[in-house]
Amino acid sequence: MRVKRIFDFLYYNHERYHKDVVVAGKKAGKWVTYSSAQYIEMSALVSYALIELGIQAGDRIATISSNRPEWNFVDIGTLQIGAIHVPVYPSINEEELIYILKESGCRIVFTGNRYTASTIEERKSELPDLQKIICFDDNSNSLPFSEFLQIGRAHPQPEELATRMAQVNPEDIASIIYTSGTTSQPKGVMLTHENHVSNALVAAFTINLNDSHRRVSYLPLSHSYERMVCYTCLYLGISVYYADGVSAILSTLKEIKPHVLVSVPLLLEKVYQGILKKGLELKGIQKVIFHYALRLAQRFELNKEMGWWYNLQLSLARKIVFIKWKEALGGEIIKIITGGASVQPYLVRVFWAAGIPIYEGYGLTEASPLIAYNTEGNIKPGTVGKAIPDVVVKIAEDGELLVKGPNVMKGYYNQPEITMNVIDQEGWLHTGDLAEIDEEGFIKITGRKKEIFKLASGIYVYPEKLEGHLKQSLYISQAYVIGENQSILAALIQPNFDYIKELFAKQGIHFTSNRELINDDRVKSLIESEIKTLNGPGVKENETIQRFALVAEEWTIDTGELTPSLKLKRRVIDEKYKEIITGFFKDNLSNL
């Protein structure tokens, strides 16, 4: 069968593979798996219940939940009756949540826990279109999901469902996904069935995986990136296991032994920092071997013949050292696919050397999201690959990357003027990213158009690049670079609190709080020395960090400094640390 609408993926999967495990999640610590037949049955029950509750084509249904199979059942059950799915990040703050539910006019809301359900219930008077709140957890005052399914069982309507499925067209809106931008209020991105399907099929045809493979899912399904990958998995017959929270990722990897990881750079940076930390704890010959292997990896160049002597040493390093890296990821990993932000070149180099290929891609929610990525046999480190089939890219006069293709959104919900600013009269989507395209068609993202700034000297600075450079340090967890219209650059530094506390504890020095840690002169000297090292050879003078301040807060999605895709919210950080930032540029301060 041909896949034209999102729900066609599920029926294609059942017809071709008859999988025993299509999707799985944990309940009370035990895996609960669903076959393709069970997936279809559960999705149908959702559809029957929604029909019974009076939901019509075009109505909006929201889901606010962490990853779990029920999310998928609601997704397919909603879409196959012609309704529109509004997925919302479970970590979103209360005001943004109410804004999204109100603006989109959602009639039904599914929540992952009773706390979210209670929050919405308390503010229901602000949501005139909201008809019912359904909670996946049964211990809630809202309608439990199990009782909601009973509505579907009590009122099966297979003929009505078949009629509605037949009426859904590829051009119909399937989703409204609210982007939580780094500099502005959320906007509802309207994506059609065709948008989603075209993107997932391109990924399926180029990813080189099959129905014998497994993957662990931990990026939020409410993000278009993870959702597209899950549709791709349906098409290819790949079994998907949902990690039971962020803290369970590593244990789930060891348990499930996935063949592919889909990640974002920040998580890879955390994995790499964890590896470095363990290496520093080794003793004697083991420590010597570890650091020798790491130095080999740092010299690795993907598209270059390194010579027989280097290859021999690397082969031994893979058998002795890097095999343990693979074991930490489950032992059967074939590749890592990453997007959401640029990966630092040193990470790509080291993981490839370790025998764990990283394929970097690029996209936007407004493009469903995939625009370009590196594929097997067609990869160039430092780039996000070439534009995917059927998608055309070009560079505007001001350096902005423009995109055209079947993946480009229909527009922003209820915001035609903003839509016209982003999609021009010729149909080009203005990505907001600055980029370069080389003679082979590989795309290099150089920065966000809104985030690039100019020093007093007139030189442009790409803060993301410099922040990534600083985060190479094992002592630095996050960095925020500022200096617009100033003569120097400064940075807010969030230390790697856990590692630094461990390091000092070995010397008998114990910190009772993050605040105490950042005020300690020994810690300040440690970070200062690290920044001076990072300011060293290979760094342009205008890109060196001359002043810095340590922050005691850990930047997270929940506290508002990070977007759900783990990018810095610059507007929030600017406001939160306004006094410190102003103080950076007083003339009486000395530079590093």
Mean pLDDT of 361-372: 96
| Residue range 393-425, pLDDT digits in tens | 999 999 999 999 999 999 999 999 999 999 999
Q: How far is CA 528 from CA 517, 521, 535, in A?
A: 14, 10, 10
Q: Please tell me the predicted confidence (pLDDT) of residue 372.
A: 97
Q: Is the per-residue pLDDT at 181 higher than 60?
A: no
pLDDT-based confidence at residue 451 (cuts at 50, 70, 90): confident
Q: What is the rounded CA–CA span in Å between residue 386 and residue 192? A: 24
Using the Cα atoms of residue 170, residue 174, residue 176 and residue 182 in order, give the sign of their dihedral: negative
In angstroms, rounded to a whole number, what is the distance separating the alpha carbons of residues 237 and 221? Answer: 18
Predicted confidence band of residue 215 (pLDDT cuts 50, 70, 90): very high
| More confident of the two residues 178 and 567 | 178
- DSSP per residue, 484-540: TTSSSEEEEEEE-HHHHHHHHHTTT---SSHHHHHT-HHHHHHHHHHHHHHTSTTS-
Distance CA 268, CA 274 (A): 10
Domain positions in the chain are 8-244, 453-584
- Tell me how far apart the alpha carbons of residues 109 and 134 are, in angstroms, rounded to a whole number: 6
The CATH superfamily label for domain 8-244 reads ANL, N-terminal domain (3.40.50.12780)
φ/ψ of 424, rounded to 5, equals -80, 180
Q: How many angstroms from the chain centroid is the CA of residue 170?
A: 26
Angle subtended by helix axes 8-17 and 224-236, to nearest 10 = 30
CA angle 453/454/457 to nearest 5° reads 165
Q: Which amino acid is at 230?
A: C
Tell me the CATH architecture of domain 453-584: 2-Layer Sandwich (3.30)
pLDDT band at 591 (very low <50, low <70, confident <90, very high): low
pLDDT (tens digit, 9 = 90+) per residue, 539-558?
Answer: 888 899 999 999 999 998 88
Model confidence pLDDT, tens digit, residues 121-167: 999 999 999 999 999 987 778 999 999 999 999 999 999 999 999 99
- pLDDT-derived band at 586, boundaries 50, 70, 90: confident
CB atoms within 10 A of CB 455: 17
Distance CA 159, CA 165 (A): 10
Residue 514's nearest CA partner among 527, 496, 531, 540 is 496
Q: Are 197 and 247 in contact (CB under 8 A)?
A: no
First-to-last C-alpha distance (Å) of the chain: 64
Please tell me whether the peptide bond between 357 and the residue prior to it is cis, using omega within 30 degrees of 0.
no
pLDDT for 538: 79
Average pLDDT over residues 500-525: 94
d(CA 108, CA 587): 57
DSSP readout, 136-186? SSSSSSSEEHHHHHHHHHHS--HHHHHHHHHH--TTSEEEEEEE--SSS--
CB 198 within 8 A of CB 229: no
Whether residue 585 contacts residue 360, with contact meaning beta carbons closer than 8 Å, is answered with: no
